Amino acid sequence: MSALHHLLIGPPEHGVVRYAELLLAAAEVPDAQVLRLPRLVGADDLAMVLDSLAAMEVDIPARVHLHLTDHLLGRSPEEALQVVRLLARRGPVSLTLHDLPQPSDGTPAARRRDCYAGLAEAAVGVVVSSHHEAALLRDVTGTAAPRTPIRVVPLAVPVPVPVDPALGSPEGSEVEGSEVGRQVAVLGWVYPGKGHAEVLAALDGLPADVGLRVLGGASPGHDDLLVDLAADAHARGRALQVDGWVPDDALPALLRRVAVPVFAPRHVSASASLTAWLSAGRRPVTVRSAYTEEVDRRSPGALLLVDDEPGALAQGIRCALADPDLTRLGAAVATGPAPAEAARLSFEGWDS
């Protein structure tokens, strides 16, 4: 059987690429089997991609696994589908798909729906990160039993790090210039629906020393959201700290030290931000959704779930401030899968 090759498209800091690298490292995949293209790739690049893959091969054609969202492939959903279809003519392709289109995306998502339906049809197998995403993919393919197998592999969670009772950072991991205090923190890129505005509003009525911390920066094209968030925080008399990009070696300490971790996106099908909180040993205040309920069923006790209704998020934050133990993962809480297991489930077996 041919060795599996991997095609990683997009800048190294992109969440899809970062997650793929986590699995590749856990599976100890040799660099000789990975083609990294740290930029957007379109149809005009296909000849270069095919030549590069051919240079890597021992047996031809080897299966190629792509880790992708359509935003990283081509300049439109149609071009993304074109690239994958042309690649599939060369040999078998399996896919790990992220950022699936949802009904909440509205009418403009119709082109992306057609794209993802075509991507699934072109592949020998598709990996998604939740049963919610599997349902979304079945919805766009128009059938409850699509021809292409869909495999649900939850996002990997590295072994959680225990949090000490003072929520202090481990020795030697302090972040220079980082004042934590009684901060309520949201992790990840700022984009519409991520929940930053709702979390800020939920701080109304809390003591003045409770501030909002944004562990991330604006998603491309959404710098206006940070401007609006700053104006809203000023109007409410609430401190706001925006870190922008946080280096990997500094992030775990920050996640362990903030007072209240919060996960409150309105429309989510899978999230590395949530697994990052769990890996840091934190139990975030989490707004209930189809996806977060799925995580809660898989890992009982990992989330401090609150209803998606006015006042519930504020009450959850108040409870977490009053009892910090609520925000720490108990030793008996099972999270996972571990990266090596997620990699095995994602990459093996599609040849049959």
> What is the per-residue DSSP string for 28-41?
T--GGGEEEE-S-B
Model pTM?
A: 0.88
pLDDT, residue 175, reads: 38
Confidence of residue 58 (pLDDT cuts 50, 70, 90): low
Q: What pLDDT, on a 0 to 100 scale, did the predictor assign at position 218? A: 86
Task: For residues 39 and 199, give the distance between their C-alpha atoms in angstroms, rounded to a whole number.
Answer: 34
Average pLDDT in the 222-251 region? 93
Pure H helices in the chain = 15-26, 46-56, 77-90, 110-122, 131-141, 196-202, 223-236, 251-257, 272-279, 290-298, 312-322, 339-347
Of 235, 233, 254, give the one whose Cα is nearest residue 243: 254
State the sign of the Cα–Cα–Cα–Cα dihedral 306, 263, 160, 27.
positive
Compute the distance between CA of residue 262 and CA of residue 1 in angstroms, rounded to an integer: 46
- Residue 191 confidence (pLDDT) above 90: no
Min mean pLDDT across 141-150, 221-230, 293-302 is at 141-150
How far is it, in rounded angstroms, from Cα 240 to Cα 316?
20
244-293 confidence digits (pLDDT tens): 988 888 899 999 999 999 999 988 999 999 999 999 999 999 999 999 99
**In the chain, % of residues over pLDDT 90:** 68
Residues 181 and 296 sit within 8 Å (Cβ to Cβ)? no
Structural Rg of the chain based on CA atoms: 21
- Between 3.40.50.2000, 3.40.309.10, 2.40.170.20, 3.30.1330.10, what CATH number should domain 183-327 receive? 3.40.50.2000
Please give the DSSP secondary-structure letter assigned to residue 152.
Answer: E
In angstroms, the CA 332 to CA 255 distance is: 20
pLDDT at 343: 96
Task: Kindly list the domain boundaries of the chain, sorted by start residue.
Answer: 5-156+339-347, 183-327
The pLDDT confidence band at residue 179, using thresholds 50, 70 and 90, is very low
Q: Positive or negative, the Cα torsion across 191, 192, 198, 203? A: positive
What integer is the mean pLDDT of 171-185? 56
What's the pLDDT score for residue 203? 97
Q: How confident is the model at residue 37 (pLDDT cuts 50, 70, 90)?
A: very high
Start-to-end CA span in the chain (Å): 11
Q: Which of 209-213, 218-222, 233-237, 331-335 has the lowest mean pLDDT?
A: 218-222
**Is pLDDT larger for residue 57 or for residue 304?**
304
Residue 275 CA to chain centroid, in angstroms? Answer: 8
In DSSP terms, 8 is beta-bridged to 36, 67
Residue 167: predicted pLDDT: 46
10 Å Cβ neighbour count for 109?
A: 18
Q: How far apart are CA 127 and CA 124, in angstroms?
A: 10
- At residue 177, does pLDDT exceed 70? no
pLDDT of residue 194 exceeding 70? yes
pLDDT at residue 2 is higher than 80: no
Task: Please tell me if the domain spanning 5-156+339-347 has the same topology as the one spanning 183-327.
Answer: yes
Whether residue 258 contacts residue 179, with contact meaning beta carbons closer than 8 Å, is answered with: no
Q: Over 90: is that where the pLDDT of 331 sits?
A: no
Helices 339-347 and 15-26: angle between axes, nearest 10 degrees: 100
The tens digit of pLDDT for each residue in 114-163 reads: 999 999 999 999 999 999 999 999 998 886 556 789 999 999 998 766 55
pLDDT tens sequence across 3-13:
789 999 999 98
Residue 352 clears pLDDT 60, i.e. is over it: no
Dist CA 301 CA 299 (whole Å):
6
191-196 average pLDDT score? 88
What is the CATH number assigned to the segment(s) 5-156+339-347?
A: 3.40.50.2000
Average pLDDT, the chain: 88
319 pLDDT band, cuts 50/70/90, is: very high
Which 3 state secondary structure label does DSSP give 72?
helix
Contact 37, 49 (CB under 8 A): yes
| pLDDT-based confidence at residue 1 (cuts at 50, 70, 90) | very low
- 203, 184 contact by CB (below 8 A): yes
Q: Is the pLDDT of residue 108 over 50?
A: yes
Residue 63 · residue 351 · CB < 8 Å: yes
d(CA 104, CA 90): 36
Q: Is 9 helix (H, G, I), strand (E, B) or coil?
A: strand
How many Å apart are CA 272 and CA 259, to the nearest integer?
20
Distance CA(216)–CA(119), nearest Å, equals 30
Give me 25's structure tokens. 């490292």
Cβ atoms within 10 Å of 51's Cβ, excluding its own: 9
pLDDT above 70: percentage of residues in the chain: 90
